[in-house]
Amino acid sequence: MIKDSYNRRIDYLRISITDKCNLKCVYCTPSKGLRNFADAEIMTDGEIVRFVRIAHKHGLRKVRITGGEPLLRKNILDLISAIKQTGIHDLSLTTNGILLPELAGELKNAGLARVNISLDTMDAERYRAITKGGDIRRVLAAISEAERAGLSPVKINVVPIRGINDDEILSFAALTLEKDYHIRFIEFMPVSSGETWQKEKCVSAAEIMEIISPLGSLESYEFKGKGPSRNYRIKGAKGVIGIISPVSDHFCGFCNRLRLTSNGKIRPCLFSKVEIDIKTPMRNGASDDEIEELFLKAVKIKPERHLIKENMDSPDRINPMSKIGG
């Protein structure tokens, strides 16, 4: 078990396995000027698995695969299975769902425990507009297939944005009355080169709570292990509502994670530009001990808290989520 300089136990790694995406969500990907990494810049399966194995020796228990769109990666099933074999206890993946319907069963067999599926609207036309061309029927099929495959509980990520989909907050929350989904509202964060971002468009956790209050009293619902999500259950509901509020109320005191970008940089905090390159040393023949040193350094320099609020208006905000790994 490893702790950082602020006594937080670091046991969770989010790995971006590609920066490519098959959707271009208006709030995530800038419409121009974004260059994808060349194939040679992307970590290989062997490099990713090697890093996970080294981190696992220091108590890494939880891995989430993300991107870009992780299901675009060739041999995704082999990669999932190799990561699982390092001994990772809890292996999950965040996806837009477009490629999931045909892969859900195989992903489960390869060792994946759960999926988060991103869905910001239940309206087909609006979905097409937000994602710049996505077909919502694929995502709805993905949710059913994930349930059928036992990739559960199925978590649905919703980013409410004022004037775009905030009128659907109540109906997303109401889904939990009948379905055992976990609906996770994520505050709109100031990432990307700022086409959609305006701080007025961020619907705060407090507003979300207010909007869903007509559905009934909310009971606090805790999961094993601390995470950024504050979780609630409407009295009598089957599912759970989670609210993640990095903007209005940072949760850094509970942060247990590091990120590994698709081009091989460890990022101790999503909102800091500080990164530690592990791919170059690996390709230059670094030993496991040397990579371990870099992992330990990343844990050590993890900042106490992020500075989203302070940097919200800066034109030099952090890279789009597709580049870092959402």
Judged by the rule CB under 6 A, the positions of this chain that interact with ligand SAM are 21, 27-28, 66-67, 69, 94-96, 118, 157, 159, 186, 188-189, 191, 321-322, 326
Minimum CB distance to ligand SAM smaller for 232 or for 271: 271
d(CA 241, CA 199): 24
Residue nearest to ligand SAM (CB): 326
Minimum CB distance to ligand SAM smaller for 44 or for 196: 196
- Closest distance of CB 296 from ligand SAM, Å: 27
- Closest distance of CB 87 from ligand SAM, Å: 25
Minimum CB distance to ligand SAM smaller for 50 or for 323: 323
Do residues 233 and 241 lie in contact, with contact meaning Cβ atoms separated by under 8 Å? Answer: yes
Strand order in the sheet with 229-234: 218-220, 229-234, 240-244, 182-186, 155-158, 114-118, 90-95, 62-66, 12-16, 257-260, 265-267, 276-277
d(CA 323, CA 112): 23
Which two structure tokens, joined as six digits, stand for 3?
């702790």
Minimum CB distance to ligand SAM smaller for 159 or for 237: 159
d(CA 160, CA 65): 23
Minimum CB distance to ligand SAM smaller for 11 or for 19: 19
Minimum CB distance to ligand SAM smaller for 28 or for 174: 28
- Closest distance of CB 21 from ligand SAM, Å: 5
- Closest distance of CB 317 from ligand SAM, Å: 10
Minimum CB distance to ligand SAM smaller for 88 or for 130: 130
Minimum CB distance to ligand SAM smaller for 29 or for 256: 29
- Closest distance of CB 38 from ligand SAM, Å: 20
- Closest distance of CB 186 from ligand SAM, Å: 5
Do residues 13 and 256 lie in contact, with contact meaning Cβ atoms separated by under 8 Å? Answer: no
Look at residues 27, 40, 52 and name the one whose alpha carbon lies nearest to residue 322.
Answer: 27
Q: Give per-residue burial for 43-60: e unless 16+ CB within 10 Å, then b.
A: bebebbbbbbbbbbeeeb
Minimum CB distance to ligand SAM smaller for 22 or for 44: 22
- Closest distance of CB 277 from ligand SAM, Å: 22
- Closest distance of CB 173 from ligand SAM, Å: 17
Cα distances (Å, whole numbers) of residue 223 to 111, 136, 242: 21, 30, 11
- Closest distance of CB 171 from ligand SAM, Å: 18
Conformation bin of residue 97: beta by default, left when phi > 0, alpha when psi is -120 to 50: left
